[in-house]
Amino acid sequence: MGLEERAALVTGASRGIGRAAALALARAGAKVAVNYSTNEEAARRVVDEIAQGGGEAFAVQGDVSRSEDSARMVSEVLGRYGRLDILVNNAGIARDNLLLRLSEDSWDAVLDTNLKGVYNCLRAAARPMLKQRFGRVVNVASVAGLMASPGQANYSAAKAGVIALTRTLARELGSRNITVNAVAPGFIDTDMTRELSAEAREAYLKRIALERFGRPEEVAEVIVFLASPAAGYITGQTVVVDGGLSI
| Enzyme catalytic residues | 155
Q: Which residues contact 48 (CB under 8 A, 6 or more apart)?
A: none
Q: Which residues contact 184 (CB under 8 A, 6 or more apart)?
A: 141, 142, 143, 145, 146, 159, 163, 238, 239, 240, 241, 242
- Return the sign of the alpha-carbon dihedral for residues 194, 195, 196, 199: positive
